[in-house]
Amino acid sequence: MIAVDTTILVYAHREESTWNERAYAAVGDLAQGTAPWAVPWPCIAEFVAVVTNARIFTMPTSLDGALEQVDIWLESPPLVLLGEPLGFWPRWREMLAVARLVGSRSHDARIAALCIAHGVRELWTADRDYGRFPGLRTKNPLVA
């Protein structure tokens, strides 16, 4: 199963993004396909926080627009939302401790641990920081 990170979701949504067309097509292919694909719940929350933030965008997405976008993704029949399963803490704790991650990087470890816990074979992201997590294969679908 392929999982999609916040960066790809934001680029797919924000039309002014240099990567909008490629990200929109990549997410659209997953959403319209038949194979299961995934988004971690924390990425949904981060997506809403980022696209509605006036400190990031001069013209941020309205809350209604962000919620509508999430609703559209949730209508994709093969979409699987990844949440913390029982026994999640030891996996996340180990990732934090081994990589010595603090601050916002602890969020990346949470996403990586969720993907590994759910058997994700590949995380699509434009964030190179995920390369530090053994056991999680990443791909940037926006570049050749």
Domains, the chain, in order of start with CATH, read 2-139 (3.40.50.1010)
Q: What are 54-96's pLDDT values in tens digits?
A: 999 999 999 999 999 999 999 999 999 999 999 899 989 988 8
* 127 close to 108: Cβ distance less than 8 angstroms: yes
Round the average pLDDT of the chain to a whole number and report it: 94
Task: Check whether 28 has a pLDDT greater than 80.
Answer: yes
Q: Quickly state the pLDDT bin for 105 (edges 50, 70, 90).
A: confident
The lowest-confidence range among 27-31, 45-49, 89-93, 118-122 is 89-93
* 117 close to 91: Cβ distance less than 8 angstroms: yes
**pTM for the predicted model, two decimal places:** 0.93
Burial of 127 from C-beta contacts in 10 A (0-12 / 13-18 / 19+): middle
Alpha-carbon distance of 57 to 54, in angstroms, equals 5
The helix (H) or strand (E) run that includes residue 4 is strand 2-4
